[in-house]
């Protein structure tokens, strides 16, 4: 397979964009990406696009991308893989470029969550990931899906609600310098612990906000990368993993097997291991998910995740910073855009241009989990071609 590089990245701010529809957000992200390609981008160079969108507003996703971005003459494929959609769109485009069929590919991720009434959104989105007869009527709200795992995790591991709160405090702090982030303010440990309970053990600050937004990447083959930049970021590894869909069928709920499978595949393709990762964007839709993911991604031994948050290892300034962008927790989480935006952040980190820069970062990892906990996509990026 040919080597694949990211040559450009851009995104809209993540926010409740009541004033912007999907038809504005998508072209905004693509234009920002194009404007930031070091040596410029002629859109006519783009040969194919992959569009990650979990749900859809205002109609047919692939058509909306082609139409609103002026790309009517190339194939556009929509990717939907629950909350792993973004990194899976990256994976699909990587294969296309790596295979030699496409030299220049566009990857876009977007979602418009705040488009229906707050009351209506819940059941609409729940319908995407629940069994209609068995799970849907139970009121298994999104936080409950993950809380079922984290409740068991807290039961079996030494971690406590305080450790969940530490993740929230860290990621809020990380988001402050990030102009694209939705929640740019610091919180205290006590604020997090005292916040109203959403779904026990999660309080308000353990949860991602509802967000709208879009993000875009330009993926190019090694053969043509020089046309666009002298400082590419290499897509070294991609991986996708799945698990049983229903919680009832997951044997050990203190781990997310999809993450283990996806990261193993991505590490293996990259020829890198968890110890080589200098900075990571990890799917912290709920704080406890970040903790469990430290273990599933191989950053620490089973049930020792709490040590990394306690001793500052995963804060910027620590030895393995996680979510310097603020993560889903504070940057925001428009599901289809989330994974693509993680790669936007890591593109900037590996080029030394991030708002919350991790010094000397060379290898990076992006991670999504969703479905609600049945699919994971992992992307390993590097400033080195490998």
Partner 1 sequence: MSGSRALAAVGTYLPPWGDGRGRTTGPDEDAVTLAVAAGRAALGEAGPQVRAVVFVTRELPLLVGGNAAALLAGIGLPDDVPVTEQVGGAPAVFDALVGAAPGTLVVAADAQAGAPAGAAAALVGDTGVPIELVDRVVRSLPVQSRVDGGPARDYADPRLQRERGLGPAVEALELSDKPVAVAGLVAKQAAALSAGHAPQLATLGASAALFALAGLEQVGTGGLVLAVEQASATAIRIGGVPAVRRDEPAVRAPQRTVDNPGPEIAISLAAYERAFDAKLRWEAGRCDACGTLAMPPRFRCLGCGSEAGWSPAPLPRTGAVYTGVTVHVPVPGLPTPYSLAIVELDGVDVRALVKVTGVPAGTTEIGDRGRLVLRRVAVRSGIPDYGYALFPDPRPADAGQREGAA
What minimum distance in Å lies between the beta carbon of 248 and partner 1? 5
Please pick, among 36, 172, 174, 333, the residue that the annotation labels catalytic. Answer: 333
333 is catalytic: yes
Q: Which is nearer to partner 1, 174 or 329 (CB)?
A: 329
Measured from the CB atom, is 1 or 138 closer to partner 1? 138
Q: Rank residues 201 and 336 by Cβ distance to partner 1 and give the closer one.
A: 201
- Cα 285 → chain centroid: 9
Q: Would you say 116 or 313 has its CB closer to partner 1?
A: 116
Tell how far CA 53 is from the center of its chain: 13
C-beta separation of 180 from 166 below 8 A = no
Q: Say how far apart CA 198 and CA 205 lie, in whole Å.
A: 9
> Any catalytic annotation for residue 83?
yes
Residue 347 phi/psi, 5-degree rounding, is -60, -45
In the complex, least distance from residue 124 CB atom to partner 1, rounded to whole angstroms: 9
Nearest to 323, CA basis, from 168, 201, 202: 168
Helices 335-350/85-98 angle, 10° precision: 60
- Residues binding partner 1 (CB under 8 A): 119-120, 122-123, 127, 131-141, 143-144, 147-149, 151-152, 155, 196-201, 246-249, 253
Q: How far is the CB of 243 from partner 1 (least distance, A)?
A: 13
C-beta of 127 vs 158, nearer to partner 1 = 127
Ordered strands of the 363-370 beta sheet: 76-79, 48-52, 104-112, 212-221, 4-11, 233-242, 375-382, 363-370, 279-281
Least distance between partner 1 and beta carbon 107 (Å): 33
CA distance 351 to 95: 23
Cβ within 8 Å of residue 95, ≥6 positions away: 1, 238
For residues 369 and 84, the answer to whether their CB atoms sit within 8 Å is yes
3-state secondary structure of 300: coil
Q: At 36, is the secondary structure helix, strand, or coil?
A: coil
CA gap 57, 177 in Å, rounded? 31
Task: Give least dist CB 123 to partner 1, A.
Answer: 6
Q: Which is nearer to partner 1, 146 or 347 (by Cβ)?
A: 146
Which residue out of 69, 83, 285, 343 is catalytically annotated? 83
The distance of closest approach from Cβ of residue 279 to partner 1 in the complex, given in angstroms and rounded to an integer, is 32
Q: What is the DSSP letter of 201?
A: T
Residue 148 · residue 247 · CB < 8 Å: yes
Question: What is the largest distance, in Å, between two alpha-carbon atoms of the chain?
Answer: 56
Please give the positions annotated as active site: 83, 333
């Amino acid at each position: 397979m040919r080597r694949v590089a990211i040559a450009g990245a851009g995104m809209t701010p993540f926010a409740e964009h009541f004033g912007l529809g999907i038809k504005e957000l998508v072209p905004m992200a693509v234009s920002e990406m194009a404007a930031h390609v070091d040596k410029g981008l002629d859109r006519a160079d783009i040969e194919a696009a992959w569009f990650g969108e979990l749900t859809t507003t205002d109609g047919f996703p692939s058509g909306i991308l082609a139409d609103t971005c002026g790309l009517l003459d190339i194939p556009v494929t929509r990717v939907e893989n629950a909350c792993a959609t973004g990194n899976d769109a990256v994976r699909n485009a990587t294969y296309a470029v790596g295979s030699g069929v496409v030299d220049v590919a566009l990857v876009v991720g977007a979602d418009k969550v705040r488009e229906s009434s707050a009351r209506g959104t819940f059941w609409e989105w729940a319908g995407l990931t629940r069994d209609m007869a068995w799970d849907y009527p139970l009121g298994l709200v999104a936080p409950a899906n993950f809380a079922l795992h984290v409740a068991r995790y807290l039961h079996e591991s030494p971690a406590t609600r305080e450790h969940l709160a530490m993740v929230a405090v860290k990621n809020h702090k990380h988001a402050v310098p990030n102009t694209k982030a939705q929640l740019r303010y610091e919180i205290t440990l006590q604020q997090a612990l005292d916040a109203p309970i959403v779904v026990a053990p999660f309080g308000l600050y353990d949860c991602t906000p509802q967000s709208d937004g879009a993000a875009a990447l330009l993926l190019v083959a090694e053969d043509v990368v020089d046309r666009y930049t002298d400082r590419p970021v290499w897509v070294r590894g991609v991986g996708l993993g799945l698990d049983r869909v229903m919680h009832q069928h997951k044997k050990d709920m203190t781990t997310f097997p999809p993450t283990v499978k996806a990261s193993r595949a991505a590490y293996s393709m990259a020829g890198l291991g968890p110890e080589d990762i200098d900075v990571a964007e990890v799917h912290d839709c709920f704080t406890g998910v970040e903790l469990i993911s430290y273990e599933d991604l191989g950053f620490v031994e089973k049930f020792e995740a709490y040590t990394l948050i306690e001793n500052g290892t995963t804060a910027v300034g620590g030895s393995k910073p996680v979510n310097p962008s603020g993560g889903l927790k504070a940057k925001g989480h428009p599901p289809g855009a989330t994974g693509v935006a993680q790669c936007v952040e890591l593109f900037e980190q590996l080029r030394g241009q991030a708002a919350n820069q991790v010094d000397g970062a060379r290898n990076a990892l992006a991670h999504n989990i969703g479905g609600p906990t049945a699919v994971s996509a992992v992307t390993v990026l590097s400033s080195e071609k490998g």
